[in-house]
Structure 1
Amino acid sequence: MSSLWLLIVGLAMLAGGYLLYSRFLAGRVYRLDPEFTTPAHELRDGVDFVPTNKYVLWGHHFTSVAGAAPIVGPAVAVIWGWLPAFLWVTLGTVFFAGMHDLGALWASVRNRGRSMGMLSGRYIGARGRNLFLVVIYLLLLMVVAAFAVVIKNLLLSTPSAVIPAWGAIVVALVVGQMIYRWGVSLLLTTVLGVAALYGLILLGDAYPITLPDPVLGMSPATFWILTLFVYAGIASLLPVWVLLQPRDYINGVQLFVGLAILYGATLLSAPDVVAPAVNDQVPAGTPGLLPLLFVTIACGAISGFHGMVSSGTSSKQLDGEDDARFVGYFGAVGEGLLALGAIIAATAGYATLADWQAVYTAFNEGGVAAFVQGGGSIINAGLGIPASLSATILATMAVLFAATTMDTGVRLQRFVVQEIGEVLGLRVGKYLATGIVLVIAVGLTFSAGAGGDGGMRIWPLFGTTNQLLASLTLAIVAVMLMRKGRNPLPALVPLAFVFVMAFWAAILQLGTLRDSGDWLLLGIDVVIILAAVWVGLEAVLAMRDARRRPVETDEDDRRALEDVGS
């Protein structure tokens, strides 16, 4: 089958979701009000609360939620065949992810930019809030530590990505000044920023950088890990407009250029999908499609991490509430487009079925490497771009997206630590909170040795934790809708489906961890399951209570804002 069918049908479904379903959600369910005063204006401080052009904010939001996950998940999940992955990405993006991301953004904006963890205190209860914060912190720890390992491995395996990966920071700093200080038009800034990024990619391809061993008394792996955490800590403390926001925006545009290159090459070369639609000859040891498909592909279908970004940083920068549809829902669509590209690259980027099977010899054998290799082949065949440069483009894309998620993750963890301190009656400053975050994350990353691969130790729990968190976020959104007398079904249907699949996967994982004797992960998994069940039960009680309460108005929201988190 030609990959053109996947591309055309996938694009049509995602476009239809944004043009039709997101309009329904914005107008009939969330009822976005352009006159509502957003936290960015009400609490403007020039550091975290900054009213932002919706296109720039979309770039920040999209690249923060994307990371490497919408590449890794689909490129692994195609081991079960391209059809299940394709259906989950497209339908999940339209009816699950878009609704979830837009809902989390709207809920936080209506509560002065508070995180979903703190909102659970108002809508579910104090016990639910405390457990919610624990799950959020563990999830963010997984993201930060694991993505540091992903970036380190890409910098070591693709030295041509080193110059563009670090040079992008300088580009972002200049872009921030152009937008906020020098008054340069956004269009000109975008063109110059993207041109600079691709100039760095060409430079990196011509001059790959391989670090000596040792470097400053450390192995290259150790050096990259420590450098990444120092960068993430600094980036998380700077005002969002200085680095985080412009870096994410220009990376978002760069990604769409990269996707245009991949999609254009697919249109021109029309490679055949060599992977089976449903693979009935999976390698030995591959887990069953149900329920693992729905936790293997998280980002790209629905992801609890998105709710953390929506309520952690994006809600503090939303200029007008009506911008939430573009930032939240279209941010999810952008990630769906990336996941679609990953599916095409990982299934049509190989000459024969035997070549594809040689890569997919075991579960988790796909991922970024399959995306870079397969996508590079398609770009080379369709556009004639040299294979090495094609690989550099895709590897740089993966590094930049993983880095933006990592620095956003550190910033979000800082917020969570401060919120936990608030619950305990302690005032934790941003520098102390950031230090706590970095010490724990670095400790986990080096827990397996100087190679810095310890960050992957708790990563097996990410999929189930992430999806359980998504269902709990949807529970808060559903309670809000019920209190306002609105239709909760757009939230309840994905909530029920995702919770069942994630809980099923978590229970199966208990057996796997028990058999492997990994008692640390087993204990963490038990804590996560118990916390999710407890919060879920509290949410059910809150939904029952919401049906008995008088319908809340916007004025009720304003009066309750001071009590959020209490």
Structure 2
Amino acid sequence: MNSLVIAALCFVGYFVAYYTYGKFLSKKIFKIDEALECPSCSLRDDKDYVPTKKEVLFGHHFTSIAGLGPIVGPAIAIIWGWVPAVIWVFFGAVFMGAVHDFGSLMVSMRNQGRSVGDVASKLISHRVRTLFLLIIFFELLIVIAVFALIIGILFNMYPASVIPVWGEVPIAVLLGYLVYKKGQGHTMWGIVALVIMYVTVVIGAYVPLTMPSIAGLNPIVVWVLIMLAYAYIASVLPVTTLLQPRDYINGHQLLVALTLLGLGAVVAHPTFVAPTVNMSPEGAPPILPFLFVVIACGAISGFHSLVSSGTSAKQCESEKDCLFIGYGSMLTESALSTLVIVAVGAGIGLGMTQSDGSILTGTQAFTTHYASWSSAAGLGAKLGAFVEGSANLMASYGIPKNISLAIMGVFLVSFAATTLDSATRIQRYVVGELAQAYKMPALAKPNAATFIAVGTAAVLCFNGGFGIAEVKKGALALWPLFGTVNQLMAAMALLVITVYLARRKAPAYITGIPLVFMIAMTGWAMVYNLQNFMTKGNMMLFVIGLIVLLLEVWMIFETLVVMKKVASGEAEPVEDCA
């Protein structure tokens, strides 16, 4: 099958979905009201609550939800075949992920920009709020620790990305200053900033920088320490100083990457060398339910609800922008995942460089790289397939390989860094909400809450020592739980949105059907993992995973009680507040 045909069909489908199903959700289900004052205006503090142009907020929102998720998931899940991957990425995004993101944004917008976990207190019960916020804290703890490590690994893998990624920081600060302090137009200066950033990409391609060992610490460990310090600073700064302008640049960087990959798909139009369907790859877990866990961000991800309700709801200046930001950004992320599937499922067949310097092409390139689950499971293997496939697509119209590798390396690190600092900022909000709920206002202050967010991640990374093996073991200790916890959290966000719709007498089946599907699939995956942890004697993961699963069951039970009251007319309709 020609990959260009599949990509074209999906892209047309996203366009149609936005203007049909998206508009239906906006007008008939959530009933967008442009006259309502948004939290960004009513609670404006120019630090967290800042009214923002939708084009700027789209960039910030998209890069925050994307990270490496829409790349890594499809790059490993294609081992089960390109057809299952494409089907889940497309239909999951249109009918589940985009609804989940849009709904989380709307519920938060109408509740003072509070997170969906905090809003659960009003819609369901105070106990559910605490349970939800604790699960969110646990997930973000893993994200902060792991992404600090991942960025260190990526800098080590792609030294050409060091100058561009760090050069983007002063460029973004200057852009924020020009737009917010001097009143300059964000479009023109955003383009200028992007051009300067790509000049640094070319410089980085010819002047790669490698971190040396410092004080006996492995270079990757040094990067982890630097990234945790950076995450702290980025989290406490006003959002308009660094995060928002940098993500605006990254939003443009995404459009460039999509254009480059799309053009490569048109020029090279490679056929898929990945199998259509492969139900039993060597060493892989069963395709059902794990397809729906491995591919998260490209279809539906619980982390997105934290971004929608954690940061974006505090910056959206009008409800009419919510469809573009919430629903539209999820479809854009799904489009990126579609191109990733093309790159690793077809582009890799144009040539895959082996460790000995030999180049494999066609089906042999794919089957060698994806010989088994273990051979394709490492970070280097996942990203290597994407970068090589992308470079092949760009080479089809003349971009030198060293430049294309630098472009994709910067793209990967930039999005990973956005996930890190957005997760840290959201964790700060979560700590603050828990502190306020339990009458500890001192811990709700930005610096104290951020110290807890970064400090707990540092403890996870360095509890075994400062050697590279110990840091990897510490940061990745809880990673096997992340996929299922993240997807179960998506189910919990859908649960809150479903209760919200039901209590407003709106059609709750819109989110109720995705809710049941996600609970079934990810609950199934969690039970499978618990059995695996028990078999291998990993009692820490077994106990933590079991606790998370029981907390989820408890939340579902409490929600069913509320839904019963709603159905019988005992529950009062909810009142929205900006």
TM-score bracket, shorter-length normalisation: over 0.9
CA distance in 2, matches of 1:176, 1:353: 47
Aligned partner (choices 487, 491, 494) of residue 511 of structure 2 = 491
Q: 1:410 maps to which residue?
A: 424
Change (3 A) 1:448 1:330: farther
C-alpha contact (below 8 Å) 1:483/1:547 kept by paired residues: no
C-alpha contact (below 8 Å) 1:116/1:307 kept by paired residues: yes
Counterpart residue identity of residue 501, structure 2: L
C-alpha contact (below 8 Å) 2:526/2:545 kept by paired residues: yes
Aligned partner (choices 535, 538, 557) of residue 576 of structure 2 = 557
TM-score, length of structure 2 as denominator length: 0.94
CA distance in 2, matches of 1:184, 1:551: 50
CA distance in 1, matches of 2:501, 2:544: 32
C-alpha contact (below 8 Å) 1:164/1:201 kept by paired residues: yes
CA distance in 2, matches of 1:317, 1:325: 14
Q: 1:370 maps to which residue?
A: 385
SS of alignment partner, residue 270 of structure 2? coil
Aligned partner (choices 296, 307, 310) of residue 309 of structure 1 = 307
Counterpart residue identity of residue 247, structure 2: D
Q: 2:354 maps to which residue?
A: none
Q: Deviations over 1:517-556 (max 9, x none)?
A: 22111111011101111111111222222233479778x3
How many pairs align? 555
Please report how far the alpha carbon of residue 99 of structure 1 lies from its aligned counterpart in structure 2 after TM superposition: 0.5
Are 2:368 and 1:354 equivalent residues in the alignment? no
CA distance in 2, matches of 1:539, 1:493: 15
Q: 2:329 maps to which residue?
A: 331
Please show how residues 533-544 of structure 1 align to structure 2 within 5 Å: 533-544=553-564
Q: Which moved more, 1:103-112 or 1:127-136?
A: 127-136
CA distance in 1, matches of 2:42, 2:570: 27
Counterpart residue identity of residue 369, structure 2: V
Are 2:544 and 1:524 equivalent residues in the alignment? yes
TM-score, length of structure 1 as denominator length: 0.96
Please report how far the alpha carbon of residue 280 of structure 1 lies from its aligned counterpart in structure 2 after TM superposition: 4.5
Q: 2:490 maps to which residue?
A: 470
Q: Deviations over 1:247-269 (max 9, x none)?
A: 11110111111111011011011
Q: Percent identity?
A: 39
Please report how far the alpha carbon of residue 423 of structure 1 lies from its aligned counterpart in structure 2 after TM superposition: 2.1
C-alpha contact (below 8 Å) 1:73/1:296 kept by paired residues: yes
Q: 1:564 maps to which residue?
A: none
CA distance in 1, matches of 2:323, 2:488: 24
Please report how far the alpha carbon of residue 100 of structure 1 lies from its aligned counterpart in structure 2 after TM superposition: 0.5
Are 2:441 and 1:442 equivalent residues in the alignment? no
SS of alignment partner, residue 348 of structure 2? coil
Q: Deviations over 1:93-125 (max 9, x none)?
A: 111111000000000011001111111111111
Aligned Cα root-mean-square deviation (Å): 1.5
Counterpart residue identity of residue 436, structure 2: E
CA distance in 2, matches of 1:481, 1:405: 29
C-alpha contact (below 8 Å) 1:37/1:320 kept by paired residues: yes
Please show how residues 95-494 of structure 1 align to structure 2 within 5 Å: 95-212=95-212, 214-280=213-279, 282-283=281-282, 285-351=283-349, 352-363=362-373, 364-365=377-378, 366-380=381-395, 382-427=396-441, 428=443, 429-447=445-463, 449=465, 450-451=467-468, 452-453=471-472, 454-494=474-514
C-alpha contact (below 8 Å) 1:483/1:550 kept by paired residues: no
C-alpha contact (below 8 Å) 1:59/1:252 kept by paired residues: yes
CA distance in 1, matches of 2:235, 2:116: 19
Counterpart residue identity of residue 298, structure 2: G
Q: 2:353 maps to which residue?
A: none
Counterpart residue identity of residue 383, structure 2: V
Aligned partner (choices 539, 542, 546) of residue 566 of structure 2 = 546
Q: Which moved more, 1:139-148 or 1:404-413?
A: 139-148
C-alpha contact (below 8 Å) 1:14/1:93 kept by paired residues: no
CA distance in 1, matches of 2:568, 2:115: 26
C-alpha contact (below 8 Å) 1:120/1:476 kept by paired residues: yes
Structure 1 alignment gaps of length 5 or more: 562-566
C-alpha contact (below 8 Å) 2:565/2:571 kept by paired residues: no
Q: 2:33 maps to which residue?
A: 33
SS of alignment partner, residue 367 of structure 1? helix
Please show how residues 13-28 of structure 1 align to structure 2 within 5 Å: 13-28=13-28
CA distance in 2, matches of 1:393, 1:13: 28
C-alpha contact (below 8 Å) 1:3/1:273 kept by paired residues: yes
CA distance in 1, matches of 2:100, 2:290: 20
C-alpha contact (below 8 Å) 2:348/2:385 kept by paired residues: no
C-alpha contact (below 8 Å) 2:279/2:286 kept by paired residues: no
Please report how far the alpha carbon of residue 215 of structure 1 lies from its aligned counterpart in structure 2 after TM superposition: 2.3
Structure 2 alignment gaps of length 5 or more: 350-361
CA distance in 2, matches of 1:376, 1:61: 27
Change (3 A) 1:5 1:485: same
CA distance in 2, matches of 1:280, 1:420: 44
SS of alignment partner, residue 329 of structure 1? helix
Please report how far the alpha carbon of residue 435 of structure 1 lies from its aligned counterpart in structure 2 after TM superposition: 1.0
C-alpha contact (below 8 Å) 1:485/1:551 kept by paired residues: no
Counterpart residue identity of residue 253, structure 1: H
SS of alignment partner, residue 302 of structure 1? coil
